[in-house]
Chain A
């Protein structure tokens, strides 16, 4: 044998055990070699691994161990010394490394363990944070819900929408089973189920308001947990599950009247609604604080929103009402305007329609007056003219009445004869008065000026109206008209506080009193008298016509004349006195040309009219000529006598105002003279008045005279008075035909 350095293994190699050991070693080596590979691979893959150095160590250790076991495979058979030495080296290294590793691990393993605990700790923390995050998120969501809810609530101003939205949103947010709103009834004694979340139309289910639970809820402004058995909480049909927790909160119903600016609702209102919220019945949910807070906030918002809605409703209603009223007023105004327009149109048309015939009447009557008329006809025509003038004035005044009301009427001031006005009134009223057998007397004070400045027509109209009323309402007795200048003391005691007479040099106050012994007036009715259209209905006697305008117009005229008019009466049946005071201007000396309106010259001027009148007398009969001359001379005329028609024609001139012709002498062709005189004087105002004097006459002769163009006819014998009145009449009317 050679001496080999081979090492014999202990056991025989073909032993089964050896075989198994051989295979195990093989696999161990394999495993040991693959583990570091895996480690390297995974470490390479992981980004973070703090213990690289340890890994390297471990790797080395494992590799060496593997190498050891690998080398061990050769030791099963006879192997050389080198193999054994290699094996030994490997083992030594392995031992070294493993000791180092073991030592290292002492430091490392606590670290690794602490890592683990930290990890656990962090995980817990993370879980907790997650939880909290969840909570916050829920809260934020709740807040968002509240905001949204509020927004929803506020975005509508309709009560029902507000409440419905509230319930819906609350239900959604808080995942409620049921949410209900109980509103107080009108009586305030019960709560009525008004809105619910799940049921569409809650039946009118009421609960008396004075329940301890309800009172408890109402007394606090917080959401209160209530028992599910409380009457307000019995909203769902009793299920087999435990009902969820119920919370109730009060919703203050603010009334408009409770909005005091300075003290905000410390809730002087006592009306609350109740909001009941029920959690799902079979969950174990509890009411969380934040949920309760949410509910309270919502309740407040709802209260505010409801009050806004209420305010808006009110204002809308008020606005609608105003609009309606506006429309109605507009309509009324338009109607009134139409009515006024219609009235004005009517007045204008009627005015025109009335004036046209009036003008015709007046114009034609005037023309008629110019022609030859019998005295009766003349009288009739004069009456027609006078009446038409009055009527025309009345028509004017009907239109003026609206002018009077506007205040746009002005007086026509002019100088006029005051005495004549009264006489005219008297003349106009005498016929009626005499028919009624009333005695009318006129008394003019001596100090009353004859001429005055004022609106003559209207003054006369006023006086005539009053006198007319006196006559109208007197069945018997007498009427006295007195006129005098009012002195200051009599002015002051007129029964009008606002009547402040002012005396001045240029003016005087005319006071006219018309006293009648007629039916009188109840003193209580006196204030109404001057009101337009107001007539006292009581006495039947007052039904005798009259539009009721008269006294109203009079009053206005008198007011315009800065005067006052009133009526005194002691009662029914005791007659009454109408007193009027007007302010008139004093007139200076007036010459005749300034008298415009007077149709009649007053008779006391007759003398002056006749005096100096140039008259031509043609009479063949010496005696009668002389008599006529004497008459005329006595009256103050300037008489020229002629004895024949030729002389007459020769001497007649435009200076002669009147020519008296004796026509009863057969030889004289008086008609021829008349015609010749007409021819001589073409202009009417130049031609003298031609009057026929005759001792006897008949109708035929009279007609012939008229036809020939004579202006008058007088029967002889002529007395002084007759001649005077004839001349006066002649000069006024330019015609005088004695009645045959």
Chain B
């Protein structure tokens, strides 16, 4: 059981750090609450969906912004909007913040700004993905060791 405790402690610490650093916010906690016996992998599923969505959207945005002649800011904006929605749904705070900034650039039709934001978004997204994957790995380790996922408040 020492292993489990250790793992759990690690998990808690890691979760706390993620929250502290602003990667995740309260919404993520809510999602974790939704995980129950009926949907044991709920959070993972949502996260996976998020990652897929994100990649798709980022690609869309990149493509749209690469257009030399007449960037379709509306499309970009739509994508950013989607991304913002998704990130806020999952609780990816940092991503969401970038999206907000991104949107203002879109409205201003500032290509440079948009590109910069896109870069930022991509960066944040990758970070988050890694962190979440680490978290999920920890979770699986705990479960494998026979423990239960501690609830992080």
Interface residues of A (CB under 8 A from B): 620-624, 626-628, 630-631, 633-634, 662, 664-667, 695, 716-717, 719-720
Of A622, A666, A667, A717, which contacts B53 at CB under 8 A?
Answer: A622
Residue among B77, B78, B82, B89 with the highest chain A CB neighbour number at 10 A = B89
CA distance A717 to B42 in the complex (A): 17
In the bound complex, residues from chain B placing their C-beta under 8 Å from that of A628 are: 89
Flag if B86 contacts A624 (CB, 8 Å): yes
Flag if A630 contacts B34 (CB, 8 Å): yes
Of A665, A716, A720, which contacts B82 at CB under 8 A?
Answer: A665
A630-B46, A717-B27 known; A623 vs B34 contact (CB < 8 Å): no
A623-B53, A720-B33 known; A633 vs B38 contact (CB < 8 Å): yes
Of B46, B74, B78, which contacts A623 at CB under 8 A?
Answer: B46
Closest Cβ of chain A: how far from B134's Cβ, in Å? 20
Flag if A620 contacts B82 (CB, 8 Å): yes
Flag if B81 contacts A623 (CB, 8 Å): no
Residue among A626, A633, A666 with the highest chain B CB neighbour number at 10 A = A626
Flag if A695 contacts B78 (CB, 8 Å): no
In the bound complex, residues from chain B placing their C-beta under 8 Å from that of A665 are: 78, 81-82, 85
Q: Which of B124-139 contact A (CB under 8 A)?
A: none
**What are 26 A-B pairs at a CB distance below 8 A?**
A621-B53, A621-B82, A621-B85, A622-B49, A622-B52, A623-B46, A623-B49, A623-B53, A624-B88, A626-B45, A626-B89, A627-B34, A630-B31, A630-B39, A633-B34, A634-B33, A634-B34, A634-B36, A662-B85, A664-B85, A666-B77, A695-B85, A695-B88, A716-B89, A719-B27, A720-B30
Closest Cβ of chain A: how far from B103's Cβ, in Å? 10
Flag if B30 contacts A623 (CB, 8 Å): no
Q: Which of B20-35 contact A (CB under 8 A)?
A: 26-27, 30-31, 33-34
Decide yes or no whether B50 CB sits under 8 A from chain A. yes
CA distance A717 to B27 in the complex (A): 7
In the bound complex, residues from chain B placing their C-beta under 8 Å from that of A667 are: 78
Flag if A716 contacts B34 (CB, 8 Å): no
Closest Cβ of chain A: how far from B104's Cβ, in Å? 12
Proximity bits, B88-102, A CB within 8 Å = 1, else 0: 111100000000000
Question: Which DSSP category, helix, strand, loop or mixed, fits chain B's interface?
Answer: helix
Closest to A717 in B: B27
CA distance A667 to B78 in the complex (A): 8
Flag if B81 contacts A664 (CB, 8 Å): yes
CA distance A716 to B90 in the complex (A): 11
Flag if B34 contacts A631 (CB, 8 Å): yes
In the bound complex, residues from chain B placing their C-beta under 8 Å from that of A719 are: 26-27, 30
In the bound complex, residues from chain B placing their C-beta under 8 Å from that of A620 are: 82
In the bound complex, residues from chain A placing their C-beta under 8 Å from that of B39 are: 630, 633-634
Q: Which of B43-79 contact A (CB under 8 A)?
A: 45-46, 49-50, 52-53, 74, 77-78
The 5 closest A-B pairs by CB, nearest first: A623-B86, A624-B89, A627-B89, A621-B85, A630-B34
Closest Cβ of chain B: how far from A619's Cβ, in Å? 8
Q: Which bucket holds chain B's interface residue count?
A: 20 to 34
In the bound complex, residues from chain B placing their C-beta under 8 Å from that of A666 are: 74, 77-78, 81
CA distance A662 to B45 in the complex (A): 21
In the bound complex, residues from chain A placing their C-beta under 8 Å from that of B38 are: 633-634
Flag if A627 contacts B46 (CB, 8 Å): yes
CA distance A626 to B85 in the complex (A): 12
A631-B34, A633-B39 known; A716 vs B49 contact (CB < 8 Å): no
Closest to A635 in B: B34
In the bound complex, residues from chain A placing their C-beta under 8 Å from that of B91 are: 717
A626-B45, A667-B78 known; A717 vs B85 contact (CB < 8 Å): no
Closest Cβ of chain B: how far from A663's Cβ, in Å? 11
Proximity bits, B112-144, A CB within 8 Å = 1, else 0: 000000000000000000000000000000000
Closest Cβ of chain A: how far from B22's Cβ, in Å? 15
Residue among A630, A631, A634 with the highest chain B CB neighbour number at 10 A = A630
Of B30, B45, B74, which contacts A717 at CB under 8 A?
Answer: B30
Flag if B33 contacts A621 (CB, 8 Å): no
Closest to B54 in A: A623
CA distance A717 to B90 in the complex (A): 9
In the bound complex, residues from chain A placing their C-beta under 8 Å from that of B85 are: 621, 623-624, 662, 664-665, 695, 716
Flag if B30 contacts A621 (CB, 8 Å): no
A695-B85, A716-B85, A719-B26 known; A623 vs B50 contact (CB < 8 Å): yes
CA distance A340 to B91 in the complex (A): 74
Flag if B42 contacts A630 (CB, 8 Å): yes
Of A622, A626, A630, A717, which contacts B88 at CB under 8 A?
Answer: A717
Closest Cβ of chain A: how far from B79's Cβ, in Å? 11
Closest Cβ of chain B: how far from A434's Cβ, in Å? 30
CA distance A623 to B27 in the complex (A): 13
Flag if A623 contacts B89 (CB, 8 Å): yes
Closest to B38 in A: A633
CA distance A634 to B81 in the complex (A): 27
In the bound complex, residues from chain A placing their C-beta under 8 Å from that of B30 are: 631, 717, 719-720
**In the complex, given contacts A623-B53, A717-B91, A720-B33, what are 14 additional A-B residue pairs having Cβ atoms less than 8 angstroms apart?**
A621-B53, A622-B53, A623-B86, A626-B45, A626-B89, A627-B46, A630-B31, A633-B39, A634-B33, A634-B38, A666-B74, A695-B84, A716-B85, A719-B26
Flag if B77 contacts A627 (CB, 8 Å): no
CA distance A630 to B45 in the complex (A): 11
Closest Cβ of chain B: how far from A705's Cβ, in Å? 18
Flag if A622 contacts B86 (CB, 8 Å): yes
Closest Cβ of chain A: how far from B91's Cβ, in Å? 7
CA distance A662 to B86 in the complex (A): 12
